[in-house]
Structure 1
Amino acid sequence: MDTEPAALGRIRTVAHILDESVRIPGTRFRVGLDPILGLLPIAGDVAMALCSLYIVAEAVRLGVPKRTVVRLLANIAVDATVGSVPVVGDLFDAYWKANVRNAELVAAAVAERQ
């Protein structure tokens, strides 16, 4: 049987891969697949938004409150919308880190009910 810690671990792993998996040499700044694949016009942002929905699906499965799910979806919408703007959107993606934000929201919602 699946446990909350295992689900939260998967969420954190996906968030890390999408937002923080690659350190920019010579800096402490990290980016992930989201801003990198976001360089591909439209297709990259759509693909990353779909990947981000995995975190929402796990959150729903964990039974987080609807208001948290709405916030998760709003973060993804902001990320996809602003991220679709050439160049500026890619820089925004690198800083916004919607998936890391969403992982933290899910973890807080799960911890809150315990």
Structure 2
Amino acid sequence: MPERSRAEQLDHLDRVAQQMDRAFRVPLIGVRVGFDSIMGLVPGVGDLLALGPAGYIVLQGRRMGAPNRLVARMGFNIGVDALIGSIPLVGDIFDVGWKANTRNTKLLREHFAAQEVVRQL
């Protein structure tokens, strides 16, 4: 299997984040939610299951060459999501706005874009 380019890898991670954070639009209010928010409605197990795709994004970012500091920041985003997301009702509402997976893929894109700019200088 041929290795994917960095752009293809980032696009793949964006699709994972989109499914977890913004897959569906709630009718009438227009807010976008994903499987992270839906799974979070299941006490205990839902939040735990949502850590799988979040961890996958971090692991792939690490494999792509993200530095330790960036990986730590991504872990912080997941930790905040997991900690506050575990609080009944408040955590479910928080999940809709925090979108840790989207934050993490954005961090990766910004890092690699900045790296490319420096490389072109």
**Shorter-normalised TM-score: what interval?**
over 0.9
Deviation at 1:3, TM superposition (A): 0.7
Query: Which ranges in structure 2 are unaligned for 5 or more consecutive residues?
Result: 117-121
Deviation at 1:8, TM superposition (A): 0.2
User: Partner residue of 2:72?
Assistant: 70
Deviation at 1:49, TM superposition (A): 1.2
Query: Which ranges in structure 1 are unaligned for 5 or more consecutive residues?
Result: none
User: Partner residue of 1:50?
Assistant: 52
What's the secondary structure of 1:113's corresponding residue?
A: helix
Q: Tell me the TM-score normalised to structure 1 length.
A: 0.96
Equivalent pair of 1:65/1:109 in contact (CA under 8 Å): no
* Aligned pairs (5 A) from 1:16-95: 16-95=18-97
Deviation at 1:98, TM superposition (A): 0.5
Mapped to 1, the partners of 2:32 and 2:71 lie a distance apart of 26
Counterpart code for 1:15: A
Give the RMSD, CA atoms, in angstroms: 0.8
The structure that has the greater radius of gyration is 2
Q: Tell me the TM-score normalised to structure 2 length.
A: 0.91
Highest RCO, 1 vs 2 (Cα 8 Å, sep ≥ 6):
1
Deviation at 1:27, TM superposition (A): 2.8
Deviation at 1:10, TM superposition (A): 0.8
